[in-house]
């Protein structure tokens, strides 16, 4: 049997409210555990914060996804050392470089891949704006060069970046599906063609929620076909604070992002169960 682990982003736990109140690392980990999440996503770049997160999370059985943003090949080395020290389950690598030519990406990816081979946990390349993977077409070209490149899919960036009209064309669906066919983990939020993160609880946003649920269903089914029995897929609820979240005239979120994270968690759990019931 294959398994889904639903994680919550520590970045998404930041309130950034006008009252100035922020919870501690330990309080956020406690909330995440109490809500039934299987783990959390956190930066794997600050040793002290990662230590506190690990000490709070790992005794409770929570898994940790570590995020990093290297600009060079060598900048990945200390990240992997921290991840090894603190028991990180896998790494989400945002390739923090912006080459204009495909051939300039090749030595960087090859260098990272050599380092990845030295650790016993996976390292996935995230699809993200203002990174090497910012453009959908460019990323598809990267996959032509590296057909075995393992991605962590945050497809909200491609909907905004390409501003797909609805209904989404068959051609655009096929390109997103090519990305999903290379995804080994997911970051989850719902975008519209104009906003990277919209309120999933608003009824008039259902058209976008349905679009993303369809893409994630395709991604789950694709992953199931590529993965072995007993394999684990991680999906991170990542409803980020402002400026990702839309705010009102008072400067605060228009919805309760924590409640929406719990709503998304439930939706994804149901979607996973659906793909299990109808798996080929």
| Enclosing H/E stretch for 228 | none
Instruction: Look at residue 4 and tell me whether its pLDDT is greater than 80.
Output: yes
Q: Find out whether 238 and 126 touch, Cβ atoms under 8 Å.
A: no
From residue 214, alpha-carbon distances to 140, 185, 208, 250, 274 in Å are: 20, 16, 10, 34, 12
Phi and psi torsions of 275, nearest 5°: -70, -25
pLDDT tens, position by position, 143-188: 999 999 999 999 999 999 999 999 999 999 999 999 999 999 999 9
pLDDT bucket at 253, cuts 50 / 70 / 90: very high
Instruction: Look at residue 278 and tell me whether its pLDDT is greater than 80.
Output: no
Instruction: Look at residue 100 and tell me whether its pLDDT is greater than 80.
Output: yes
Q: Which conformational region is residue 38 in: left (phi greater than 0), alpha (psi within -120 to 50 degrees), or beta?
A: alpha
Phi and psi torsions of 16, nearest 5°: 50, 45
- Find the Cα–Cα–Cα–Cα dihedral 4, 148, 157, 190, rounded to 10°: -20
pLDDT bucket at 277, cuts 50 / 70 / 90: confident
Instruction: Give the pLDDT score at 22.
Output: 97
Written as six digits, the tokens of 251 are: 């400067």
Q: Is the pTM of this model over 0.85?
A: yes
> What is the Cα Rg of the chain in Å?
18
Q: Where are the beta strands (DSSP E) in the chain?
A: 3-9, 39-43, 63-68, 90-93, 123-126, 151-153, 183-188, 232-237
Mean pLDDT of the chain: 97
pLDDT bucket at 279, cuts 50 / 70 / 90: low
Share of the chain above pLDDT 90, in %: 99
pLDDT tens, position by position, 33-85: 999 999 999 999 999 999 999 999 999 999 999 999 999 999 999 999 999 99
DSSP string, 234-275: EEEE--PPTTSS-B-TTSSBSS-HHHHHHHHHHHHHHHHHHH
Written as six digits, the tokens of 211 are: 């679009």
pLDDT tens, position by position, 121-143: 999 999 999 999 999 999 999 99
């Amino acid at each position: 049997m294959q398994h889904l682990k639903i994680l919550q982003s520590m970045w998404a736990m930041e309130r950034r409210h006008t009252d100035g109140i922020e919870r501690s690392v330990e309080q956020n980990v406690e909330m995440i555990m109490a809500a039934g999440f299987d783990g959390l996503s956190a930066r794997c770049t600050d040793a002290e914060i990662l230590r506190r997160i690990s000490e709070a999370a790992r005794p409770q059985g929570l898994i940790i996804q570590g995020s990093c943003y290297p600009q060079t090949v060598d900048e990945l080395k200390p990240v992997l050392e921290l991840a090894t020290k603190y028991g990180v389950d896998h790494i989400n690598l945002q390739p923090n470089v912006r080459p204009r030519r495909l051939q300039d990406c090749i030595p960087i990816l090859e260098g990272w891949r050599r380092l990845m081979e030295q650790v016993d946990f996976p390292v996935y390349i995230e699809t993200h704006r203002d990174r090497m993977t910012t453009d959908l077409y460019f990323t598809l070209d990267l996959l032509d060069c590296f057909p075995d490149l393992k991605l962590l899919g945050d497809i909200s960036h491609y909907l905004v970046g390409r501003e797909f009209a609805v209904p989404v064309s068959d051609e655009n669906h096929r390109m997103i599906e090519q990305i999903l066919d290379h995804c080994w983990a997911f970051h989850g939020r719902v975008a519209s063609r104009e906003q990277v993160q919209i309120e999933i609880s608003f009824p008039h946003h259902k058209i976008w929620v349905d679009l993303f649920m369809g893409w994630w269903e395709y991604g789950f089914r694709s992953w199931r076909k590529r993965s072995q029995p007993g394999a684990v897929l991680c999906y991170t609820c990542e409803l980020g604070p402002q400026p990702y979240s839309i705010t009102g005239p008072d400067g605060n979120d228009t919805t309760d992002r924590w409640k929406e994270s719990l709503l998304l968690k439930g939706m994804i759990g149901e979607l996973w169960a659906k793909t299990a019931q109808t798996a080929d």
